Amino acid sequence: MSGGGVGQGAVYSPLPQSISDTDSSEEELNNIAHHNDNRKFIVASKDTIDKNNGKKMGEYRQLGHDGEGEVSINGLTNRDHATADDIPIIKPDGVRPRNLEAMSPLRKVCFILSILICGLTIVVFLWLIPCDWATCPSAPLRLGTRSWETTLQGVELKGGISVVAGVPGRGRNLVFLARGDVINAALGKTPTDRSKSTFSANGGGLVSLTGSAGEVAWYIPLPKMPKEMDCTLIDVTDDGTEDCIILGSGKLLAAINPISGCIEWYVHNHTNHNEKVQHNETVVYAVDMEFPIIIPDVDGDGVKDMVTACSFDHTKEDVPVVTQRNNLVLISGKMGKFIGQAYTDRECPRISGLSVGKDWTLYYFCHNNTSASSRQLPVDKLYYHAVKKQLNTSAYMQNLPLKQHHGFGTMNRVNKVGGHQLNLVNQGHCPNHCKVYIQVTNKHGESIMSLNQTATHGMTPVVLVFNNNTNGKEHVEPVSGFVLKIWTWITGNGHIFSSSVNDIDNLNMTSSNPLFRSRLRRSSEWNDGKYSHRLHRSVKPTLQQISKNGSSPQLEVHQLKERIVLVTFNANTSHTVNASLHDITQLCFQYECQPDLTFQEQSLLIADLDQDGSQELITYLTTFTNSDPDDTSPNSIKWHLQSKVRVVRLEAELPKLYDAVSRQ
């Protein structure tokens, strides 16, 4: 071959990159196989036999050794240092080069840890870090509350408004009880749009809105109708945030995280359940419960516990067996399970009005057929009856009184603020036989506002107090007062209610330039005369309209007016202003009305949502809208349930209020 003969002991070098195309392929292969790589050589084992000549391969010798001539390739001699070849050469005996040796234990551990860290990163971003805007913290950004309005379709809001902790940096949130459309369900009609039927007619749930913008943070459907809620009593998870205790019909008693909307627990009885299953007996459930009383920790888990009155459901194979509500049970605040056995007052048919005194004694009313009597039971005796152990009363009695849940009613309300007094009295049953009497008097007993009106009901009022505040160059004096919400029935049940139409615009109130300018306009249905003609004609058009639309004769359509009235006063003057006026359509079917009056009694609240020192007025209303007044589709649903939630920055509107009053 060119470049020198090949014989025993010959050495081959790989071709440099500058080799010409004139060299033979045999020379290229031989030179590549035996290249001097910066004088680092691999010597084959002496036991390796040359397959060509059956002799052992000779040891490596440099070209030019022992008189061998130098090989010149394209002007480069073998003594010139060529660039090292990084391609590993596989030995004939299969031994791997040094750079392919097995990893050391330390390197293996580091390699495995790197894989685990990558997997952990994926898990954290997919499941641990929330993606919902309403639950994503934004510490550097603090969103202030603005005035807003949100409409919820297919939902009737009910009960009080709960202000709960929100995500840090985004202010506080609102939580509402809710139920679904019971009227269309009773008529046998179901909505085709599932987005408008969040809650079933037989159940209900909870809805949470962000306080800063009114967006839905979360909602929870519940199997039973929720009746009462309190989000200020107990922290069941011990995370520093009070959780919401929900009481509903049947066996519904639950704890819910107000930020995430997660259900922490339902009340249950582990011991009784397991024993009944093992003995093939009926599982016992607590039903008809009263809102629980909060007591200090008795089971040693670090979380406050509860006591409630209840009945027990022993129903088996559809045979209802429900005991009287004469049982008192301890409930673990952390787990929601019963603590020990229930205490039964066998001499009392029914227990109600459960409360607790400063000495941790339980008080309740015992009802029989004709009368009610007061009874008491110390908590330590209840605990001993439940678990057959003595309670450490020396440590237990040192606990300070705890906040308890209080129900609300509006049959007779007396509120006092700033030397003024509000008296609100509701009488009778609406809409046919009810009336309201409202009077606000000053510190001298003089009346500054009064209202005595039939077919009208006053909701639970709220008190407002504004401290000294300077808005730019304008100084606002300290202001206090009351906020009232009033329902007045205009038409319904086939007739016009007496005096409602005549008195609605003749009240001792200043109605021009109200606080909520954009809220004062009447609805389009009222302005275009659809209802105004019915008011001054007769009852027949209303009944004819129901028959014309193909509705059941049992369906009643009531038209109402909802007014929010602000009664404010300072050191010198007082003002009464109609803040808003809205139309409400109420449907009644077989003694069930929606919106229900009792559900709306606590639909007013004043709170500081963004915790900036200012106050916001929070209110909601529920109504039906008619999507097909001409009855073009008689088989489809034309009445659609909706609720509206409004938040108004009340203190920001005060200068407008006083400016409007001063110009009158």
Angle, CA of 218, 222 and 224, to the nearest 5°: 150
Which of 648-653's residues contact partners 24+ apart within 8 Å by CB, and which partners? 648/147, 648/515, 648/516, 648/616, 648/617, 649/145, 649/146, 649/147, 649/614, 649/616, 650/464, 650/515, 650/606, 650/614, 650/615, 650/616, 650/617, 651/466, 651/469, 651/614, 651/615, 652/614, 653/515, 653/516
Give me the DSSP letters along 318-351.
TB--B--S-EEEEE-TTT-BB-SPPEE-TT-SEE
Same domain, 402 and 463: no
Residue 622 lies in a domain: yes
pLDDT < 70 stretches in the chain: 1-100, 130-145, 191-197, 270-283, 317-320, 408-412, 468-477, 492-553, 631, 634-635, 654-655, 657-664
Which of 409-416's residues contact partners 24+ apart within 8 Å by CB, and which partners? 409/460, 409/601, 410/457, 410/458, 410/459, 410/460, 410/601, 413/458, 413/460, 413/461, 415/461, 415/463, 415/482
- Please say whether the beta carbons of 302 and 372 come within 8 A: no
> Is 33 in a helix, a strand, or coil?
helix
Same domain, 467 and 388: no
- Please say whether the beta carbons of 258 and 276 come within 8 A: no
455: number of Cβ within 10 Å = 25
Which residues constitute the domain of residue 538?
A: 459-662
Cα 13 from Cα 70, distance rounded (Å): 12
> Is 440 in a helix, a strand, or coil?
strand
Cα 383 from Cα 412, distance rounded (Å): 38
Cα 481 from Cα 425, distance rounded (Å): 18
Cα 228 from Cα 243, distance rounded (Å): 14
* 3-state SS, one letter per residue, for 209-231: EECCCCCEEEEEEECCCEEEEEE
Cα 612 from Cα 144, distance rounded (Å): 8
DSSP state of 124: I
Same domain, 367 and 465: no
Same domain, 463 and 570: yes
Cα 392 from Cα 384, distance rounded (Å): 11
Strand segments (E) across 461-571: 462-466, 469-471, 474-476, 479-492, 495-496, 556-569
Beta bridge partners of 127: none
Instruction: Return the closest-CA partner of residue 29 out of 11, 52, 12.
Output: 12
> Is 235 in a helix, a strand, or coil?
coil
Residue 653 lies in a domain: yes
Task: Tell how strand 479-492 and strand 474-476 pair up.
Answer: unpaired
Instruction: Return the closest-CA partner of residue 584 out of 156, 195, 189, 184.
Output: 156
Same domain, 402 and 466: no
Cα 222 from Cα 207, distance rounded (Å): 11
- Please say whether the beta carbons of 189 and 233 come within 8 A: no
Cα 283 from Cα 269, distance rounded (Å): 9
Same domain, 466 and 611: yes
Q: Which helix (H) or strand (E) holds 44?
A: none
Number of domains in the chain: 3
Cα 650 from Cα 483, distance rounded (Å): 11
- 107 contact partners, CB below 8 Å, separation of at least 6: none
Q: For residue 164, how many C-alpha atoms fall within 13 Å in the half-sphere facing its CB? A: 33
Q: Which helix (H) or strand (E) holds 424?
A: strand 420-429
Same domain, 402 and 511: no
Residue at which a domain ends, from 101, 121, 153: 101
Same domain, 322 and 387: yes
Peptide bond into 553 cis (omega under 30): no
Dig out the tokens for 32 from the structure: 């590549």
Same domain, 331 and 466: no
Residue 316 lies in a domain: yes
Cα 130 from Cα 630, distance rounded (Å): 47
Residue 557 lies in a domain: yes
Q: For residue 451, how many C-alpha atoms fall within 13 Å in the half-sphere facing its CB? A: 33
Cα 216 from Cα 525, distance rounded (Å): 29
Give, in order, the Cα–Cα distances in Å from 13 to each of 65, 79, 85, 262, 370. 15, 11, 11, 74, 117
DSSP state of 35: -
Same domain, 601 and 521: yes
DSSP state of 146: -
Cα 303 from Cα 317, distance rounded (Å): 38
Backbone angles phi, psi at 527, to 5 degrees: -70, -30
Q: Please report the pLDDT score of residue 395 as a whole number.
A: 74
Cα 176 from Cα 456, distance rounded (Å): 25
Which of 380-386's residues contact partners 24+ apart within 8 Å by CB, and which partners? 382/307, 382/328, 382/330, 382/343, 383/298, 383/330, 383/339, 383/340, 385/340, 385/341, 385/343, 386/329, 386/330, 386/339, 386/340, 386/341, 386/342, 386/343
Residue 148 lies in a domain: no
Q: Please report the pLDDT score of residue 417 as a whole number.
A: 87
Strand segments (E) across 100-225: 148-153, 156-164, 173-179, 204-210, 216-222
Residue 615 lies in a domain: yes
> Is 556 in a helix, a strand, or coil?
strand
Residue at which a domain ends, from 83, 101, 119: 101
Same domain, 355 and 479: no
Residue 484 lies in a domain: yes
Same domain, 403 and 463: no
Give, in order, the Cα–Cα distances in Å from 60 to each of 10, 30, 71, 78, 95. 8, 14, 16, 14, 20
Q: Which amino acid is at 560?
A: L
Residue 325 lies in a domain: yes
Residue at which a domain ends, from 72, 101, 130: 101
